[in-house]
Amino acid sequence: MVVKTDIEKLTEKFTDLEKKVNEMGKSKPVKDKKPREQSEYNIFMKKFIETEKKKDSTKSHQDLFKEGAKAWSLKKAEKS
């Protein structure tokens, strides 16, 4: 009867776990997905933030985004 040392046992367990992880990592090939078309909101916000950033570059992105969201709401309300 062969007695395994603790290090040998741990090495064996580690090797088994490595094999399992490698097998799990093999996934299905990723299909080529075309990106979604941008919504009116996305286009508006991108332009709004760009123009406002040019006017006043000291404002944070978060503040510009808040202002853009308010401007979008007003724009949508005017259309209705």
Distances in whole angstroms, Cα of residue 6 to Cα of each of 9, 10, 13, 18, 77: 5, 6, 11, 18, 72
What are the tens digits of pLDDT across the range 49-62? 999 999 988 999 99
What are the tens digits of pLDDT across the range 6-35? 888 888 888 888 887 777 766 666 678 888
pTM of the predicted model, to two decimals?
Answer: 0.56
Evaluate the CA torsion angle 66, 68, 71, 73 in order and state its sign.
negative
Distances in whole angstroms, Cα of residue 39 to Cα of each of 10, 35, 44, 46: 54, 12, 9, 11
Q: Which of 61, 35, 58 is nearest to 48 (CA)?
A: 61
